[in-house]
Amino acid sequence: MSRESILETAKQSIVEADEDMALEALKQAEESGIDLIDLLSNGYSAGMKELGDLFGSGEIFLPELMFATQVMKVATAEIESRMEPGDIKPKGVMVIGTVEGDVHDIGKGIVASLIKTNGVMVHDLGREVPAQVFIDKAKELNADFIGSSALLTTTMTQQKKIEELLETEGLKGKIRTMVGGAPVTQRWADRIGADAYCEDASEAVKKIMEWINQI
Protein backbone atom coordinates (compact mmCIF):
# COMPACT_ATOMS: atom_id res chain seq x y z
CA MET A 1 0.00 0.00 0.00
CA SER A 2 1.14 3.54 -0.67
CA ARG A 3 2.23 5.91 2.07
CA GLU A 4 -0.74 8.19 1.31
CA SER A 5 -3.21 5.35 1.59
CA ILE A 6 -1.80 4.17 4.94
CA LEU A 7 -1.76 7.70 6.35
CA GLU A 8 -5.37 8.11 5.22
CA THR A 9 -6.34 4.86 6.98
CA ALA A 10 -4.64 6.09 10.15
CA LYS A 11 -6.45 9.41 9.89
CA GLN A 12 -9.82 7.76 9.31
CA SER A 13 -9.27 5.40 12.23
CA ILE A 14 -9.20 8.41 14.52
CA VAL A 15 -12.10 10.20 12.84
CA GLU A 16 -14.20 7.04 13.16
CA ALA A 17 -12.77 6.15 16.61
CA ASP A 18 -11.94 2.67 15.30
CA GLU A 19 -9.15 1.05 17.33
CA ASP A 20 -8.89 -2.01 15.08
CA MET A 21 -8.42 0.22 12.05
CA ALA A 22 -5.79 2.24 13.91
CA LEU A 23 -3.76 -0.88 14.73
CA GLU A 24 -4.16 -2.15 11.17
CA ALA A 25 -2.72 1.13 9.86
CA LEU A 26 0.24 0.71 12.21
CA LYS A 27 0.83 -2.85 10.98
CA GLN A 28 0.67 -1.72 7.35
CA ALA A 29 3.06 1.13 8.05
CA GLU A 30 5.61 -1.23 9.61
CA GLU A 31 5.31 -3.67 6.69
CA SER A 32 5.79 -0.84 4.21
CA GLY A 33 8.70 0.68 6.10
CA ILE A 34 6.95 3.97 6.74
CA ASP A 35 8.50 6.20 9.41
CA LEU A 36 6.30 5.85 12.49
CA ILE A 37 6.73 9.51 13.43
CA ASP A 38 5.38 10.32 9.95
CA LEU A 39 2.44 8.00 10.66
CA LEU A 40 1.80 9.67 14.01
CA SER A 41 2.11 13.24 12.76
CA ASN A 42 0.49 13.00 9.35
CA GLY A 43 -1.90 10.12 9.95
CA TYR A 44 -3.34 9.86 13.45
CA SER A 45 -2.71 13.50 14.41
CA ALA A 46 -4.25 14.67 11.14
CA GLY A 47 -7.36 12.77 12.20
CA MET A 48 -7.40 14.58 15.53
CA LYS A 49 -7.08 17.91 13.74
CA GLU A 50 -10.02 17.08 11.51
CA LEU A 51 -12.08 16.10 14.53
CA GLY A 52 -11.18 19.38 16.22
CA ASP A 53 -12.42 21.29 13.19
CA LEU A 54 -15.65 19.25 13.06
CA PHE A 55 -16.18 19.90 16.76
CA GLY A 56 -15.66 23.63 16.21
CA SER A 57 -18.46 23.74 13.66
CA GLY A 58 -20.85 21.62 15.72
CA GLU A 59 -20.71 18.56 13.51
CA ILE A 60 -19.35 16.20 16.13
CA PHE A 61 -19.68 16.33 19.87
CA LEU A 62 -17.50 16.05 22.93
CA PRO A 63 -18.21 12.40 23.81
CA GLU A 64 -17.36 11.36 20.23
CA LEU A 65 -14.17 13.36 20.50
CA MET A 66 -13.26 11.57 23.70
CA PHE A 67 -13.87 8.15 22.13
CA ALA A 68 -11.43 9.15 19.39
CA THR A 69 -8.96 10.26 22.05
CA GLN A 70 -8.92 6.76 23.51
CA VAL A 71 -8.00 5.37 20.10
CA MET A 72 -5.33 8.05 19.70
CA LYS A 73 -3.87 7.07 23.06
CA VAL A 74 -3.66 3.41 22.04
CA ALA A 75 -2.00 4.27 18.72
CA THR A 76 0.48 6.64 20.38
CA ALA A 77 1.37 4.09 23.07
CA GLU A 78 1.97 1.41 20.43
CA ILE A 79 4.25 3.70 18.46
CA GLU A 80 6.12 4.84 21.56
CA SER A 81 6.78 1.21 22.55
CA ARG A 82 8.54 0.73 19.21
CA MET A 83 10.69 3.85 19.47
CA GLU A 84 13.88 4.70 21.29
CA PRO A 85 13.41 7.11 24.21
CA GLY A 86 13.80 10.61 22.85
CA ASP A 87 12.59 9.78 19.35
CA ILE A 88 9.21 11.29 20.06
CA LYS A 89 9.16 14.96 20.81
CA PRO A 90 7.65 15.70 24.23
CA LYS A 91 4.30 17.36 23.87
CA GLY A 92 4.52 19.49 26.98
CA VAL A 93 2.62 19.91 30.21
CA MET A 94 -0.25 22.31 30.73
CA VAL A 95 -1.97 23.53 33.87
CA ILE A 96 -5.48 24.78 33.26
CA GLY A 97 -8.33 26.09 35.37
CA THR A 98 -11.18 28.55 35.82
CA VAL A 99 -10.07 31.55 37.85
CA GLU A 100 -10.98 32.38 41.44
CA GLY A 101 -14.57 33.50 41.98
CA ASP A 102 -15.77 31.90 38.76
CA VAL A 103 -17.64 28.60 38.68
CA HIS A 104 -18.07 28.39 34.91
CA ASP A 105 -16.04 25.43 33.77
CA ILE A 106 -17.84 24.04 30.72
CA GLY A 107 -15.67 25.88 28.21
CA LYS A 108 -12.52 25.20 30.17
CA GLY A 109 -13.44 21.50 30.20
CA ILE A 110 -13.80 21.51 26.42
CA VAL A 111 -10.43 23.21 25.97
CA ALA A 112 -8.78 20.74 28.37
CA SER A 113 -10.35 17.83 26.47
CA LEU A 114 -9.24 19.03 23.07
CA ILE A 115 -5.70 19.78 24.18
CA LYS A 116 -5.47 16.36 25.85
CA THR A 117 -6.60 14.72 22.63
CA ASN A 118 -3.48 16.14 21.02
CA GLY A 119 -1.19 14.36 23.45
CA VAL A 120 -0.40 17.20 25.82
CA MET A 121 -0.36 16.29 29.52
CA VAL A 122 -3.10 18.50 30.94
CA HIS A 123 -3.56 19.05 34.65
CA ASP A 124 -7.04 20.46 35.23
CA LEU A 125 -7.26 22.44 38.47
CA GLY A 126 -11.02 22.77 38.22
CA ARG A 127 -12.96 25.94 38.94
CA GLU A 128 -12.56 28.85 41.36
CA VAL A 129 -8.79 28.43 41.32
CA PRO A 130 -6.73 31.16 43.09
CA ALA A 131 -3.96 32.65 40.95
CA GLN A 132 -1.29 31.38 43.32
CA VAL A 133 -2.50 27.79 42.87
CA PHE A 134 -1.93 28.06 39.09
CA ILE A 135 1.64 29.11 39.78
CA ASP A 136 2.33 26.53 42.50
CA LYS A 137 1.00 23.65 40.41
CA ALA A 138 2.88 24.83 37.33
CA LYS A 139 6.10 24.89 39.35
CA GLU A 140 5.41 21.47 40.85
CA LEU A 141 4.77 19.89 37.45
CA ASN A 142 7.43 21.91 35.66
CA ALA A 143 4.63 22.95 33.30
CA ASP A 144 5.21 24.56 29.93
CA PHE A 145 1.85 26.28 29.69
CA ILE A 146 -0.81 27.82 31.91
CA GLY A 147 -4.35 28.23 30.59
CA SER A 148 -6.90 30.27 32.50
CA SER A 149 -10.57 30.75 31.80
CA ALA A 150 -12.87 33.52 33.03
CA LEU A 151 -16.51 33.90 32.05
CA LEU A 152 -17.21 37.09 33.93
CA THR A 153 -15.93 40.63 33.52
CA THR A 154 -15.63 40.66 37.30
CA THR A 155 -13.32 37.64 37.42
CA MET A 156 -11.12 38.17 34.36
CA THR A 157 -8.87 40.41 36.47
CA GLN A 158 -7.60 37.21 38.08
CA GLN A 159 -5.87 36.45 34.78
CA LYS A 160 -3.87 39.62 35.27
CA LYS A 161 -2.93 38.42 38.74
CA ILE A 162 -1.52 35.20 37.25
CA GLU A 163 0.72 37.27 34.96
CA GLU A 164 1.85 39.41 37.89
CA LEU A 165 2.69 36.35 39.99
CA LEU A 166 4.67 34.83 37.12
CA GLU A 167 6.64 38.06 36.94
CA THR A 168 7.23 38.08 40.70
CA GLU A 169 8.40 34.47 40.68
CA GLY A 170 10.71 35.02 37.74
CA LEU A 171 8.72 32.63 35.55
CA LYS A 172 7.52 35.16 32.98
CA GLY A 173 8.61 33.96 29.55
CA LYS A 174 9.47 30.50 30.88
CA ILE A 175 5.87 29.37 31.22
CA ARG A 176 3.64 30.50 28.38
CA THR A 177 0.14 31.63 29.22
CA MET A 178 -3.10 31.55 27.30
CA VAL A 179 -6.32 33.23 28.34
CA GLY A 180 -9.88 32.57 27.27
CA GLY A 181 -13.52 32.95 28.25
CA ALA A 182 -16.53 34.90 27.04
CA PRO A 183 -15.43 38.46 27.96
CA VAL A 184 -11.76 37.89 27.13
CA THR A 185 -10.24 39.34 23.96
CA GLN A 186 -6.86 39.73 22.29
CA ARG A 187 -6.79 43.30 23.58
CA TRP A 188 -7.14 42.01 27.14
CA ALA A 189 -4.39 39.44 26.59
CA ASP A 190 -2.10 42.16 25.25
CA ARG A 191 -2.92 44.46 28.12
CA ILE A 192 -2.13 41.97 30.88
CA GLY A 193 0.84 40.43 29.06
CA ALA A 194 -0.57 36.97 28.38
CA ASP A 195 1.20 35.10 25.59
CA ALA A 196 -1.99 34.22 23.75
CA TYR A 197 -5.72 34.76 23.58
CA CYS A 198 -7.79 31.95 22.10
CA GLU A 199 -11.27 32.56 20.73
CA ASP A 200 -12.31 28.93 21.13
CA ALA A 201 -11.01 25.45 21.88
CA SER A 202 -9.79 24.82 18.34
CA GLU A 203 -7.68 27.96 18.45
CA ALA A 204 -6.27 26.90 21.81
CA VAL A 205 -5.13 23.62 20.31
CA LYS A 206 -3.56 25.37 17.32
CA LYS A 207 -1.66 27.75 19.58
CA ILE A 208 -0.44 24.97 21.88
CA MET A 209 0.74 22.87 18.93
CA GLU A 210 2.53 25.91 17.51
CA TRP A 211 4.30 26.40 20.84
CA ILE A 212 5.14 22.70 21.14
CA ASN A 213 6.86 22.80 17.78
CA GLN A 214 9.03 25.61 19.14
CA ILE A 215 10.08 23.67 22.28
Q: Does 61 bind another protein (CB under 8 A)?
A: yes
Q: Does 119 bind another protein (CB under 8 A)?
A: no
Shortest CB 116 distance to another protein, Å: 6
User: Could you give the C-alpha distances from 104 to 38, 59, 153, in angstroms and in order?
Assistant: 39, 24, 13
Cβ density class 153-191: b for 16+ within 10 Å, e for less: eebbbbbbbbbebbeeeebbeebbbbbbbeebeeebbee
Q: Does 90 bind another protein (CB under 8 A)?
A: no
Kindly write out the interface string for residues 96-115 of this chain, putting x where it contacts another protein by CB under 8 A and - elsewhere. -------xxxx-xxx-xx--
Amino acid sitting at position 110: I
- How many of the chain's residues bind another protein (CB under 8 A)? 33
Q: Does 122 bind another protein (CB under 8 A)?
A: yes
Q: Which is nearer to another protein, 108 or 161 (CB)?
A: 108
Q: Which stretch binds another protein (CB under 8 A): 18-26, 67-75, 81-89, 206-214?
A: 67-75
Strand 145-149 and strand 176-180: the pairing is parallel
Contact (Cβ atoms closer than 8 angstroms) between residue 55 and residue 114: yes
Kindly write out the interface string for residues 158-197 of this chain, putting x where it contacts another protein by CB under 8 A and - elsewhere. ------------------------xx-xxx----------
Gyration radius of the chain's alpha carbons: 18
Shortest CB 81 distance to another protein, Å: 20
Q: Does 199 bind another protein (CB under 8 A)?
A: yes
Rounded Cα distance, 53 and 154, in Å: 31
Rounded Cα distance, 12 and 7, in Å: 9
Rounded Cα distance, 105 and 43, in Å: 32
Shortest CB 201 distance to another protein, Å: 10
Which residues contribute to the site for another protein (CB under 8 A)? Answer: 55, 57-64, 66-67, 69-70, 103-106, 108-110, 112-113, 116, 122, 124, 126, 153, 182-183, 185-187, 199
